[in-house]
Amino acid sequence: MNNQYEHLIKRYFFRFIEEKLNPLGLSGPMGFYLLEIDKRQIMKMNQLVDLTPYHKSHSTRIVTKLHDMNLVNKVVDPEDLRGFVLSITDFGREMADKVRIAHHDWDKLESKALSKTEALMLNNLMEKTYLYLKNHFDEDKK
C-alpha cells in the first residue's frame, strides 16, 4: 500500500517544515519534540521516547539541544534517578506556538490539493488502515 507518492509528500512536508523552523533555530525533529512536551506540559523522558519514531540516543540529543536553548527544563526523575522529567518553559511555549503555526500552514497548503469530500475520504481510509494495524499488533492489550 505504501507508494512512492506517500514518500514524496513526506519529503515535501519535511522540506516545508525545515524552511519554516530553521530561521527559529529549530529542526523538524526539535519542533516535533517541543510540540509533544508542550502538549503534556510535564512528562518523563521515556514517555517522550515512546511517542516518537526516533532512536533513544537521537531523543537524548534533541532534548539536550532544547534544554540548552531554554525551551524545556530537564531534571532528574525523583522516582527513577536514571531518567529525567521534562517540562516546557515560557519561551518553549512561545516557540511551540510558532511550530504549531508552521504545521497549520502545511495543512492549509496540502488541503488545497483535494476537495473536502476527497480529504474526508482519504482521512477515513487512513484511519481504517491505522485501526486495522493497531489491532493486528495488539496495541490495546499492552
pLDDT digits over 35-84, tens only?
Answer: 999 999 999 999 998 888 778 889 999 999 999 999 999 999 889 888 89
Residue type at 52 in one-letter notation: T
Sign of torsion, CA 16 21 27 29?
Answer: negative
Give how far Cα 54 sits from Cα of 48, 63, 79, 83, 132, Å.
10, 12, 25, 17, 23
Q: 142 pLDDT exceeds 60?
A: no
What pLDDT does 44 receive? 93
- The H or E element spanning position 52 is none
Q: 91 pLDDT exceeds 60?
A: yes
Instruction: Quote the DSSP letter at residue 84.
Output: E
Rounded (5°) CA angle 121-122-125: 85
What pLDDT does 43 receive? 93
Residue 88 · residue 41 · CB < 8 Å: yes
Helix (H, G, I), strand (E, B) or coil at 42: strand
pTM: 0.82
